[in-house]
Amino acid sequence: MDHRIEHDSMGEMKVPADRYWGAQTERSRLNFPIGAGRETMPKEIVRAFGLLKRAAAAANRELLPERMTEEKFEAIDRAAEEVANGLLYDHFPLVVWQTGSGTQTNMNANEVIKNRGNEIAGRTLLHPNDDVNMSQSSNDTFPTAMHIAAVTALEDELLPAAERFAETLKELERANEDVIKIGRTHLQDATPLRFSQEISGWRAGVERGCELIRAAEKPLFEIALGGTAVGTGINAPEGFGEAAARALAEITGKPFVSAGNKFHALTSKDELVSAHGAVKALACDMMKIANDVRWLASGPRCGIGEISIPENEPGSSIMPGKVNPTQCEQVTMVAVQVMGNDAAIGFAASQGNFELNVFMPVIAYNFLQSVRLLAESIASFDERCARGIKANRERMRANLERSLMLVTALSPAIGYERAAEVAKKAHREGITLREACLLLGYADGKSFDELVRPEKLV
């Protein structure tokens, strides 16, 4: 492989000639062979660095025009825009399992933008620290990148997928308004409800999950830029954080603002813990929905069998004709992964020491994996399962008619204890509630038929 020589404060390093990164990136690449090629820094973080470097350059041009000349700004802005647009991702080789401040990924961005910017300028113009990293520190850029990446992933991936799924459930509600079925609590028969009402519970869970995410993402719009090394803003001009936040808001169209307390912004990860908690809440609802669907579809002959779902692929290598609820299973596995990620994020966020948290890459990695997996999981379940759910009306009607819990409608007329006696007699002797009630003499046929009418119980 062809190489070129790059240098940093520790000396010279050989770097692949066809890559824009420099000496510090190469040192990290060699020193952290952990998950290489599999667990590299998420693309969302890389793109966020492109956005924040553009914003920082704009703020420096405004506040330090004697240092951030128009030529330097143009070179940085164009190169950083390419990073933000995902055009240079192959030049970001570093893994998650590096320094806990993300310093090496910040320098990776600085070096790539410096070398690409010099190429754009046609001469040696930029220095990675003095120019691209001007008025910044890894300690305020990486937290800023985390917030940008989190907001972007939530708004562009997860929320649209969840909101489309909620619309599918609305359509399913409308299609099943006339279907009455038995309810179930504790996996036991309960009083009846409309199938549309059961679906509405699923839909409301998804909608509430979206509401919780939108509420939890608001603090993520506060960014740490301007705090530099420990929160004091050393080496940054007065007003840099505010100017950078304004520029970032203009570039992204999202309402980013400068964090009010930079000491908190550097060391605490409360905002990401809270936002991921909302993501976990949606995952919990998805777990519940997927489990309901696979229980209701169980069978086809020896289970509940009240709904049918799409038959997407063979379910067994040995049992011909078997079809399994595979979309439900992928949802539940993703939900478990999100719950595990939430534990990792919580532990990592609790480890801030003095003026910095040094578990940031693992927080970012788990947060973004949760959002990506859950968004893709919901979209797949929506398209390949939920849209094809069909009510087995005959099975629902038969289960409803056999249910003992319709006896609940008798309680106001004959009392709880007598109603319980009716249910137990019917169950013990394998007869209907009507027959048991008449045999016990607690009501005549006409009264029973007036009281026990499922359509009046929903």
Catalytic residue ranges: 186, 316
Beta strands in 71-203 (DSSP E): 180-185, 188-194
Cα dihedral angle (80, 84, 87, 90), rounded to 10 degrees? 90
For residues 226 and 42, the answer to whether their CB atoms sit within 8 Å is: no
| Spatial distance between the Cα atoms of 334 and 379, rounded to a whole number of angstroms | 12
Residue whose tokens read 């960014």: 223
Task: Name which of 292, 262, 305, 456 is nearest 386 in CA terms.
Answer: 292
- Parallel, antiparallel, or unpaired for β 307-308 and 11-16? unpaired
Residue 38: DSSP 8-state: T
Q: How far is CA 293 from the centre of its chain?
A: 22
Provide DSSP, 43-67: HHHHHHHHHHHHHHHHHHHHH-TTT
Q: Report CA 344 to chain centroid distance, whole Å.
A: 15
Q: Could you tell me the two tokens for 80?
A: 């950083």
Report DSSP letters for 255-288, one per residue.
--EE-S-HHHHHH--HHHHHHHHHHHHHHHHHHH
